[in-house]
Amino acid sequence: MGTRLCLVAAAALVAAGALAPAAQAGAVRVPLDRAHPALGHITVRYAVLRHTDRARPPLEPVVAFEGGPGYGSIGSASTYLFMLGKLHRRHDLIVMDQRGTGTSRAIGCPALQAGIPPYAAAAVACARRLGRTASAYGTAAVADDMAAILRRLHVPTVDVYGDSYGTYAAQVFAVRHPNRTRAVVLDGAFDNSFDPFERESSSALRNAWRVVCARASRCPHVLRSIRRLAGRLERKPIQGVGTDADGVRRRVRLGPAGLGSLVHDATSTYTVFRDLPGALEALRHGDRAPMLRLAAEDAALNIPGGSPRAYSAGGHLAVACHDYPTVWAKTDPPRARRTALRSAIRGLAPDAFAPFRNSVWLRTATEHELVYGCLDWPEPRIGPRPFPGGGARPGMPVLVLSGELDQSTPLADARHVATAFPDATLVEVPNTAHITALHDFQGCSAGIVRRFLTRLAVGSTACEAAMPPIQLATFPQALAAAPMADGGRAGLTARRASWVAVQTIGDALARWYNLMFTTRGHGLRGGTYTIGGGYLSHSPLSIRFDRTRLVPGLAVSGRAVWDRRARRVQARLRLSGATAGVLHVAFPTDVARAVATISGVVGGRGFRAVTAAPWAPQG
């Protein structure tokens, strides 16, 4: 809750603001503060994507709230349509750029947007820039804006979907406008009762890494390894040049707080789960390349700046400082707030944020923003509270989805939300992290959402048990050190080369899934690959490799195709360098413990082999 990564990173591949041809754009002019109209007005823009089946009467529209806060929802319309699938035939989709975001007068605070430190100073400069209107962007006002849009459209009732911060907005809308709400879906949920230090997130972090390693039968001591590396980085940070997933060379300085941010960002970037244990092992053997690449990729996802219409850092704080809990009283002056915060920090258990020291974790990007961001923000004097009257929840049907590995809005928060609603069902999704249904190529969580909105009942969730665990990567420094596929009578070189070829496909798919902003990727040790095929699509995805090197000295060329409807990858690859050959590879992407089959010729000898499938889409 509260960073740019709260939006799944793969959404970067969705064209911002791209709407279907049937979209109807509109706007409502609403008071900044409905209790004080003299403060002024703001124009809130929205879009309606009309249902496609005109032969039958439409059903309730679906209202979707985007995460953040700081993101508008209009630019994510194609993402919601992908999740809704056939439901869009009879359900309109209504999306709004929340006040202060996107096309609804996005809040522009230059220092905050550019990430100019110190954060608290940039935040207070933003508040001063907003003046009296700094309190006008709370979630209750956002919910009332949506109600005004529905009145404009003459829509009596809607189904409401929210992801990440959008779950907060969806709950507030349901509480404030229960008569307009038929059903609610919350994906990655929290409300305003969370711990201001979000210690539940650290607990979820520890559990997530234990689960990932246990299911892979690898890295049993990963938390100890992370703790030891954090200690080493306090003494001597890792410095060097890493190449991110798009091939941009970035100068990296990885200290303990940066490592903490990287580890936490696995909640939105599955590639961190996949690669970090192997990168830690490589680092112990003197190979910095995998760690430098991860650090460069994490930096690329967290680069400040850009247009506030894409993401508004000021819009984020204007919501967070109005709505979210703090360890100090919001009526306190800044000096008293700092005193209360210092006292609360001293009262933390020494291992509150293990495997990181408290002082380190409080400097990580997400935690620092959460704990220190609102220290100097003015007391909210206008705008209604998000949950009025004690926050009693109405009795409409509610589906709460929570990823088992979610560190951003952890399962403990989702359980609290589900308990608060009288008619809520909580579904924990194994082997998935933050937000489970939006980019669901497996069709399981998205299918549960569609069934719930159709029948107002969750039905069977058996498909969740089949969600494949995360496949962990290994980074050998030479072909001779690579693991071997199981090849019976195949030679050692052929078995090792087969493993490398399969893992090269997995490495590219992992980066395409949630790290790439372009269609051209780069191998860990050199070479490139080019992606063909849209992101939010069920059409085949093509990857053309051009001397891509995951292991020094062995280049992989050729083509892999992921048939997303059949949920199967097939490839024809050419090997050059340390050995030569041609391989045919195939593996499923929707089966736990899936196996890749390999056949071909290496070193002039034909063979067949099998090895573990290298990748599956997590949710």
Give the per-residue pLDDT at 389: 73
Please say whether the beta carbons of 33 and 39 come within 8 A. yes
**What per-residue confidence (pLDDT) applies to 418?**
97
Beta strand extents in 458-616 (DSSP E only): 520-522, 528-532, 541-551, 554-563, 568-577, 581-588, 595-602, 605-612
pLDDT confidence of residue 17: 38
In this structure, are residues 444 and 467 in contact, taking their beta carbons and an 8 Å threshold? yes
Q: How far apart are CA 126 and CA 113, in angstroms?
A: 10
The pLDDT, as a whole number, for residue 489 is 81
Extract the tokens encoding 391.
Answer: 């926050």
Residue with tokens 């529209």: 61
In angstroms, the CA 581 to CA 572 distance is 11
Task: Report pTM.
Answer: 0.95
Radius of gyration, CA atoms only, the chain: 24
Q: Identify the sign of the CA torsion 425, 426, 429, 433.
A: positive
Output the pLDDT for position 18: 45
pLDDT at 22: 62
Q: Are 44 and 149 in contact (CB under 8 A)?
A: yes
In this structure, the number of other CB atoms found within 10 A of the CB of residue 359 comes to 12
For residue 355, is the peptide bond before it cis, meaning its omega torsion is within 30 degrees of 0?
A: yes
Rounded mean pLDDT for each run of 10 residues along the chain, 619 residues in total: 45 41 86 93 98 95 97 96 97 98 97 91 94 95 98 98 98 97 98 95 97 96 98 97 95 97 96 98 97 97 91 97 96 96 98 98 95 94 82 93 97 96 97 95 95 97 92 96 90 96 98 95 97 94 98 97 97 97 97 94 94 92
Which CATH code fits 13-196+381-466? 3.40.50.1820
> What residue has token string 């006040």?
99
> Would you say the C-alpha torsion 82, 84, 85, 89 has a positive or negative sign?
negative
496, 483 Cβ separation under 8 angstroms: yes
Burial class (CB in 10 A: 0-12, 13-18, 19+), 232: middle
Model pLDDT, residue 178: 97
What is the C-alpha separation between 47 and 27, in angstroms, rounded? 8
Domain limits, CATH 3.40.50.1820, in the chain: 13-196+381-466
Question: Is the link from the previous residue into 58 a cis peptide, with omega within 30 of 0?
Answer: no
Per DSSP, the residues of 373-412 read TTTTSPP--SS--SS-GGGPPP-S-EEEEEETT-SSS-HH
